[in-house]
Amino acid sequence: MNHPTPPPTAVPNLPHICIVDDNLMAREVIADLLSTEGYEVSLASSGPEIIERIGDIKPDVILMDVMMPGMSGYDVCRLLKQEKQWQHIPIILVTALNGREDMLQGLNAGADEFLSKPVNGSELRARVRTMLRIKHQYDALQSLLQLREDLSHMLIHDMRTPLTVAMLYNDFVLRRVQDGSKDKEYATIVRSSLRSLDNFMDEVLTVAKMEQGALKLELTETGIKALVAQVVEANLEAAELRQFALLLDAPEDELPVCLDVSLFKRVIDNLLSNAYKFAPEGSVITIRLRYEATAVNALRPSFRLQVLDEGPGIAPEDQTRIFNKYEIVTLKKKSGRQTGLGLAFCKMVVEAHGGRIFASANTPKGAILTVEL
């Protein structure tokens, strides 16, 4: 009696090693030396082949010969390390070259480890195991970061409903209290804080989309002076409550530019909010707009937007770090500055528009945040 053949037992995901060498025998020798480790092994005969197939192979470690015709191991290594989706894959260069310059060339290309020819089996297996540990640690960290990101987004979406209710009832109170009363002042402060929280949640989601390449700018032509004036007007009440002056220094004429108006308004608003945190009572915050000399006739109009405050200023070593979202905690611990995601958001939006943003000192006191577009 014939019995049906049972389905094959599922094999757990094995570490995947890719061997790249133009010499067939060399590929097979290395594969044989790794056969005792139980790895899944793929073979490629050239640099262009591994570049073409890497998306399908998705190796955990790449073992690659340096001296290959057409495209050397250095060239392949350099190309893969420039690609964000592949740069985390450890690359072991296999070479008969033992000179210091050869090793430096490999390190400059992004190689993670080296093996000398003829390959020693014990050394090969040890190097591969080390690289696999690094790769697995990276994968575990990425999974943890993705989980944290997903939880953050879930929390933000869940916070939307109570925040919307709070803003609705706050507006209800504002419409019914008398102008000039303390209740009006308190409700206005609450409204400003609620809007800041709403903007912060938008920024978290927008930054995540930008990092994933999922955000597309919605460019429309607008007058930059009118846009800046609109944001300044919306912030006058907040400046008055904080007891400092908010001034707009802009040319008389208008300059039409192509921007994502919604995102860029939030950039300006964030720059002003940053200045508010450090502006002493009775001081002046100036938002200055200037056009490039050729902007009116240029195919791509350009302008410079600056927010100047008279606060404690920014230490020279922190003038770049304040725009990095990964430096937020460090900066808070160091100086107590209320650094948040706002400036990191500004940097991402400005750079998405093809511009740049930077900080400098405001002589004699304070800081200047500059956007050039």
Q: What is the pLDDT of residues 234-251, one digit of tens each?
A: 888 778 777 888 899 999
Task: Give the Cα separation of 97 and 132 in Å (integer).
Answer: 24
Higher pLDDT, 269 or 204: 269
Contact 316, 174 (CB under 8 A): no
The two structure tokens encoding residue 193: 């804080």
Sign of the C-alpha dihedral computed for residues 271, 233, 291 and 312 taken in this order: negative
Report whether pLDDT(205) > 50: yes
Residue with the larger pLDDT of the pair 132 and 182: 132
Handedness of CA 32, 36, 38, 39 (dihedral sign): negative
Q: Who has greater pLDDT, 97 or 262?
A: 262
> Residue 31: its pLDDT value, please?
92
Q: Enumerate the H helices of the chain as residue ranges.
A: 24-33, 47-57, 73-82, 100-109, 121-176, 182-211, 224-241, 261-278, 328-335, 341-352
pTM, rounded to two decimals? 0.52
320 vs 34: which has the higher pLDDT: 34
pLDDT at 117: 85
